[in-house]
Amino acid sequence: MCLAVPGRVVSILEEGDSSLRRAVVDFAGVRREVSLAFTPEAKLGDYVMVHVGFALSVVDEAEAQKIFEYLSEIGEQLEPDSGEAP
């Protein structure tokens, strides 16, 4: 029930009152209307985490990359039985 799915904001439907602000969000080809009431900072092209029709956060893309950068840096030392932990 706490499932939230990332999708890209493809258009913003302005509504004056920020509690009624909505966007069209693309989930790998499937488009849905989503409330931006809780993410007034969301901009066109941003990825948002959507739960039951509401965007709960804007995805921090730089943070999202860090684990993969770390794993690729240490990758070669990490083949099983190649030695001690870095």
Binding-site ranges for other proteins (CB under 8 A):
1-6, 8, 19, 27-28, 35, 37-40, 47, 49, 51-54, 56-57, 59-61, 63-64, 66-68, 71, 74-75, 78, 80, 84-85
Identify the bridge partners of residue 40 per DSSP, sorted by sequence position: none
Please name the helix (run of DSSP H) or strand (run of DSSP E) that holds residue 72, with its range, or none: helix 61-74
Residue 13 CB, shortest distance to other proteins, in Å, is 14
Query: Could you tell me which residues come within 8 angstroms of residue 29 by beta carbon, excluding any fewer than 6 positions away?
Result: none
Identify the bridge partners of residue 5 per DSSP, sorted by sequence position: 50
Closer by beta carbon to other proteins, 11 or else 59: 59
Residue 20 CB, shortest distance to other proteins, in Å, is 8
Q: Which tokens hold the place of 44?
A: 């066109």
